[in-house]
Amino acid sequence: MAQFNTNVFGPVRVTRAVLPHLRGRHAGTLVFLGSRSGWFGDPFCGAYSGSKFALEGLVESLRWETEPLGIRTLLVDPGRFRTAFLDPAGNLGTAVSRVPDYREAYQTFLGHIASEHGRQPGDVAKGVEVIVDLVRREGVAEDGAVPFRLPLGSDCYETVREKCEETLRVLQQWEPTIRSTDL
C-alpha cells in the first residue's frame, strides 16, 4: 500500500489539484517520474514495479485526455541513478521474507542491492538537466520534438530495448495464434 500511495495515488492527487489550472490556461506540462521498473518487474520488487506499471498506464491515458486541451505530458523513466534510494541504512525499506522458500534468494537479492548502492550508473545532475530541457524545449530538446515517454540511463535503455525485442519476437512467432482468436 505504501508503494501505491507514494507512486500512484500521490501523483493522481497532485494532478487532480493542478489540472483545473492547466485546463483554464489551455497550456502547461505535466511531468511524471516512472521507472525502469515500470518496464520490467525485478524479483522481490513486485510492489514497487506494480506501482510504476500502474503509473505508466494512468499517465498514458491522461496524455490522450489532456493533449487536445493544449496540455503536454512527459513521462520520464529513469534507470538506476546514483541517489540514496538503494541505501540499506536509509531509504531502502526491506522486510524479512516470511516464506522459507524465498529467504535465501531474497537475502542474495538484498546483498546485490546493497553492493549496487553508490555504484548506480546514472548521474542525477545530467538526468535533471535532460528533464528540464524537455520541459523548456531547450538543449537536447531545442528542435521541439519531445517524446511522451523517455527512458533515461544506459541500464534503462537496455531493459526497454530487450523488452521491446522480446515482445516483437513473441508477436512474430505467435501471430497466427494471436490473430486466430478474432471472430
Could you identify the residue written with the cell 493522481? 12
CB 155 within 8 A of CB 80: yes
In the chain, what are the domains?
2-82+122-179 (3.40.50.720), 84-119 (no CATH)
E strand or H helix at 169:
helix 154-179
pLDDT band at 92 (very low <50, low <70, confident <90, very high): low
Grid coordinates representing 83 are 541517489
Tens digits of residue pLDDT in 151-175: 999 999 999 999 999 999 999 999 9
Q: How far apart are CA 67 and CA 62, in angstroms?
A: 8
Q: How far apart are CA 117 and CA 82, in angstroms?
A: 8
pTM of the model: 0.88
Q: Return the amino acid letter for 178.
A: I
Average pLDDT of span 1-24: 96
Count the Cβ atoms, other than its own, within 10 Å of residue 174: 11
Q: Return the amino acid letter for 89.
A: A
pLDDT of amino acid 174: 98
Q: Is 157 a catalytic residue?
A: no
CB 79 within 8 A of CB 119: no
